[in-house]
């Protein structure tokens, strides 16, 4: 067989080799001709052949968000950090346009840095691209396209579904009282039949309602993410005291202040207005209002501390404990009712109330305050949210906690 092989080597046998050679030659000619007429940018998809000559070498890269990143936001003030790195476009007379979902320009940069905290107004999946455009609006070059997702936690105030009896009590308490309904959903504080143990451990609080503290209210321009500063508060009460636990998320726990300076470091502040109807329209604190500041301490030498900022009063009798967590810290405290000026609790009472977290990370004083109500100002009770005291029986016996676990 082998011997016979050469015998048949004719033009037909060479045909495949000739074909390959012809294809190769054509390809080389094609590439050479084409390359001289169009620069490489042509192959990256730009339709403006004249201008793309200038684009070779531009590089525009969206470095934040990263591909398929998911942003779990809690309130409408949180933002998605957008950052773009670029090469060789700074000195050009072009603009960089951030385009969302193909058609919505959310920002136009004339010069670097190309950083922008974008505030989405609804959840969803988004596609982001940065286009370099000339003065006629023609696209010169484009960045990578990045897809990301924005999700929102469903509710700012979490209320546990209660029995019909309790739900009716909530409604009738609010109907019977004048309160600042424009300042956010009311918080419900239930009577406790076994007081919480003030030890900085919050296991026993699951039966009570919790509320988010996540609305930026003071220095709010510094707010980007709930990871910087946010929290949840649990409250309850009995005939002797008001109790609360705050679980704070804070990336840098920094507290070196004491006494009336507590708010310069990481701290929690509660403001109460115990008589709403008497002076509903008087904004500044007076005798029925209290502001109490709570410091977690620094977990190495400075102990947790409560300070009654208004009215000027000894904080004797307040019990406070704190603990450090991976995400931040916990404060748990007991405020005897006798620290309030002439107030004792009753079922269905409706109070003005806002809980705030003061955040200091690296500076010498407050960098940001987040609150349970949408607005909060020191010494302005008209910004306060609402707290409703409800005696719903012993919640630890009713199994209501299970309802919340199922949600």
Q: Which residues bind to Ca ion, rule: CB under 5 A?
A: 196-197, 199, 201, 228-229, 250-252, 254, 266, 273, 275, 279, 288, 359, 361
Report the distance separating Cα 353 and Cα 366, nearest Å: 21
Question: What is the nearest approach in angstroms of Ca ion to the Cβ of residue 241?
Answer: 14
Interacting residues of 397 by C-beta distance below 8 A, sequence separation 6+: none
Question: What is the nearest approach in angstroms of Ca ion to the Cβ of residue 391?
Answer: 21
Residue 209 vs 273, nearer CB to Ca ion: 273
Residue 243 vs 307, nearer CB to Ca ion: 243
Report the distance separating Cα 36 and Cα 56, nearest Å: 14
Buried/exposed code over 87-112 (b: 16+ C-beta within 10 A; e: otherwise)? eebeeeebbbbbbbeeeeebeebeee
Residue 46 vs 230, nearer CB to Ca ion: 230
Is the dihedral angle over the CA atoms 172, 175, 180, 183 positive or is it negative? positive
Residue 288 vs 349, nearer CB to Ca ion: 288
Report the distance separating Cα 207 and Cα 6, nearest Å: 94
The three-class DSSP label of residue 349 is: coil
Residue 65 vs 196, nearer CB to Ca ion: 196
Residue 12 tokens, joined? 């037909």
Residue 117 tokens, joined? 């905290």
Residue 275 vs 333, nearer CB to Ca ion: 275
Question: What is the nearest approach in angstroms of Ca ion to the Cβ of residue 303?
Answer: 17
Buried/exposed code over 8-31 (b: 16+ C-beta within 10 A; e: otherwise)? eeeeeeeeeeeeeeeeeeeeeeee
Residue 41 vs 308, nearer CB to Ca ion: 308
Question: What is the nearest approach in angstroms of Ca ion to the Cβ of residue 204?
Answer: 6
Question: What is the nearest approach in angstroms of Ca ion to the Cβ of residue 89?
Answer: 34
Question: What is the nearest approach in angstroms of Ca ion to the Cβ of residue 165?
Answer: 27
User: What are phi and psi for residue 102, nearest 5 degrees?
Assistant: 85, -20
Burial class, 389, CB count within 10 angstroms (exposed 0-12 / middle 13-18 / buried 19+): buried
Residue 219 tokens, joined? 């220095």
Report the distance separating Cα 364 and Cα 254, nearest Å: 9
Question: What is the nearest approach in angstroms of Ca ion to the Cβ of residue 200?
Answer: 7
Question: What is the nearest approach in angstroms of Ca ion to the Cβ of residue 251?
Answer: 5
Under 8 Å between Cβ of 60 and 96: yes
Question: What is the nearest approach in angstroms of Ca ion to the Cβ of residue 343?
Answer: 11
Question: What is the nearest approach in angstroms of Ca ion to the Cβ of residue 359?
Answer: 4
Residue 381 tokens, joined? 């009770």
Interacting residues of 235 by C-beta distance below 8 A, sequence separation 6+: 187, 189, 208, 209, 242, 243, 244, 387
Question: What is the nearest approach in angstroms of Ca ion to the Cβ of residue 205?
Answer: 7
291 pairs with which residues across the strands?
271, 310
Residue 238 vs 361, nearer CB to Ca ion: 361
Residue 293 vs 359, nearer CB to Ca ion: 359
Residue 251 vs 338, nearer CB to Ca ion: 251
Interacting residues of 206 by C-beta distance below 8 A, sequence separation 6+: 401, 404
Cα-to-chain-centroid distance, residue 99: 23
Under 8 Å between Cβ of 227 and 251: yes
Residue 41 vs 275, nearer CB to Ca ion: 275
């Amino acid at each position: 067989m082998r011997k016979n092989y050469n015998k048949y080597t004719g033009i037909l046998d060479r045909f495949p080799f000739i074909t390959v050679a012809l294809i190769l030659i054509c390809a080389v000619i094609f590439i050479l001709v084409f390359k001289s007429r169009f620069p490489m940018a042509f192959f990256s998809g730009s339709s403006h052949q004249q201008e793309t000559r200038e684009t070779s070498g531009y590089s525009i890269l969206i470095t934040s968000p990263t591909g398929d990143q998911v942003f779990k936001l809690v309130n409408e003030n949180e933002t998605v950090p957008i950052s773009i790195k670029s090469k060789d476009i700074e000195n050009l007379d072009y603009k960089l346009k951030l385009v969302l979902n193909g058609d919505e320009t959310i920002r136009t940069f004339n010069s670097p840095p190309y950083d922008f905290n974008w505030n989405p107004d609804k959840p969803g999946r988004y596609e982001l691209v940065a286009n370099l455009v000339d003065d006629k609006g023609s696209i010169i070059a484009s960045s990578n396209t990045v897809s990301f997702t924005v999700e929102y936690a469903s509710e700012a105030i979490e209320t546990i579904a209660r029995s019909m009896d309790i739900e009716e009590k909530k409604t009738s308490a609010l109907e019977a009282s004048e309160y600042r309904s424009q300042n956010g959903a009311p918080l419900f504080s239930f009577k406790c039949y076994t007081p919480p143990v003030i030890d900085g451990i919050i296991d026993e609080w699951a039966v009570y309602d919790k509320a988010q503290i996540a609305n930026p209210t003071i220095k709010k321009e510094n707010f980007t993410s709930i990871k910087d500063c946010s929290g949840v508060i649990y409250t309850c009460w009995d005939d002797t005291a008001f109790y609360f636990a705050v679980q704070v998320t804070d990336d840098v726990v920094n507290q070196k202040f004491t006494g009336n300076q507590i708010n310069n470091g990481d701290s929690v502040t509660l403001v109460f207005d115990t008589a709403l109807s008497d002076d509903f329209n008087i904004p500044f604190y007076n005798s029925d209002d209290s502001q109490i500041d709570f410091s977690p301490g620094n977990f190495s030498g400075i102990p947790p501390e409560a300070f009654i900022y208004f009215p000027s009063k000894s904080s004797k009798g307040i019990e406070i404990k704190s603990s450090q967590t991976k995400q931040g810290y916990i404060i748990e405290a007991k405020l005897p009712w006798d620290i309030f000026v002439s107030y004792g609790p009753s079922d269905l009472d409706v109070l003005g109330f806002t809980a705030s977290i003061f955040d200091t990370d690296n500076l010498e004083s407050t960098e940001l305050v987040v609150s349970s109500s949408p607005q909060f100002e020191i010494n302005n009770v008209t910004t306060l949210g609402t707290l409703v005291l409800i005696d719903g029986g012993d919640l630890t016996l009713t199994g209501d906690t299970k309802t919340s676990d199922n949600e």
